[in-house]
């Protein structure tokens, strides 16, 4: 199962985030440092939505009618999820709401979340609401699509995964870890919609910036030929 890096492992929260992405250890990327490259044609990675994705056109999501999610909304969402877990698994150990808030605020991605276009979360939620990843309900019986932040978290998580893996790495992860084509198509559609609506600035991020060569600001030697390149070091 491909999950967000911050996913709790218990039932309801696992349903919430049985989405796209793998744990990532690479440092946070800065899309402003992306250097164009012809090494990999980016047109093949999430540039077009898959045509074979199964969708429920009748599904509706709360986030589709609300303003962009804030960090406060994200914290409230996860506290809602964990409150539900505590009520159904009282014998288990869970983080306190205070610890959960600290964790979620620390995970809030400045690269992604400060750059979401106005109305981007709502457009994303409307677009992906019928995908299978958003199925499920809290044990309290509340449909997860009607929980503030549920749909929006998928878009933010997809964009954060791109900053950590690049579109190429994320594409390869999806293809290698999910044998069910219907699920792969749903994941591809979700990532494409996230790039389109939530983080368009990451569309060209083939590789995370940690893997992109960094060049020093050097004055070329006067004897250098004009066609000579610049030596770059990672």
Task: Note the pLDDT tens digit of each residue in 58-112.
Answer: 999 999 999 999 999 999 999 999 999 999 999 999 999 999 999 999 988 877 8
Of the candidate ranges 1-5, 42-46, 176-180, 219-223, the one whose mean pLDDT is the lowest: 1-5
**What is the average pLDDT score of the chain?**
76
6 located within any domain? no
Q: Which two tokens stand for residue 101?
A: 């808030």
15 located within any domain? yes
Highest-confidence segment of 175-179, 197-201, 209-213:
197-201
What's the structural domain count of the chain?
1
Best CA proximity match to 160, nearest among 83, 118, 104: 104
Q: What is residue 79's three-state secondary structure?
A: helix
232 located within any domain? no
137 located within any domain? yes
36 located within any domain? yes
The pLDDT of residue 233 is above 50: no
Tally of CA atoms within 13 A in the half-sphere of 24 that contains its CB: 25
The pLDDT value recorded for residue 175 is: 82
Best CA proximity match to 212, nearest among 181, 233, 195: 233
Looking at the chain, the whole-number percentage of residues with pLDDT higher than 70 is 70
Task: Note the pLDDT tens digit of each residue in 120-134.
Answer: 999 999 999 999 999
Tell me the residue range of the domain where 142 lies.
Answer: 11-211
58 located within any domain? yes
Whether the Cβ atoms of residue 188 and residue 50 lie closer than 8 Å to each other? yes
219 located within any domain? no
The model carries a pTM of 0.72
37 located within any domain? yes
- Cα angle 164-170-172, degrees, rounded to a multiple of 5: 135
* Whole-number Cα distances in Å, 177 to 2, 72, 117, 131: 7, 33, 31, 19
């Amino acid at each position: 199962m491909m999950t967000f890096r911050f996913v709790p492992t218990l039932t309801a929260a696992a349903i919430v985030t049985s989405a796209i992405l793998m744990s990532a250890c690479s440092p946070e990327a800065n899309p402003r440092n992306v250097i164009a490259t012809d090494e990999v044609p980016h047109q093949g990675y999430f540039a077009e939505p898959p045509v074979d994705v199964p969708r429920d056109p009748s599904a509706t999501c709360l986030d589709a009618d609300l303003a962009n999610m804030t960090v406060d909304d994200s914290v409230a969402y996860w506290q809602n999820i964990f409150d539900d877990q505590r009520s159904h698994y009282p014998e288990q150990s869970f983080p306190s709401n205070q610890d959960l808030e600290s964790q979620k605020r620390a995970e809030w991605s400045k690269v992604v979340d400060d750059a979401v276009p106005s109305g981007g979360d709502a457009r994303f939620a409307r677009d992906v609401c019928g995908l299978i990843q958003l199925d499920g309900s809290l044990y309290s019986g509340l449909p997860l699509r009607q929980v503030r932040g549920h749909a929006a978290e998928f878009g933010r998580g997809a964009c954060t995964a791109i900053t950590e893996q690049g579109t190429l790495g994320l594409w390869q992860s999806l293809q290698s870890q999910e044998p069910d084509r219907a699920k792969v198509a749903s994941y591809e559609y979700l990532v494409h919609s996230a790039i389109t609506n939530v983080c368009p600035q990451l569309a060209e991020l083939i590789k995370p910036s940690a893997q992109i060569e960094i060049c020093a600001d050097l004055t070329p030697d006067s004897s250098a030929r004009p066609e000579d390149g610049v030596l770059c070091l990672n």
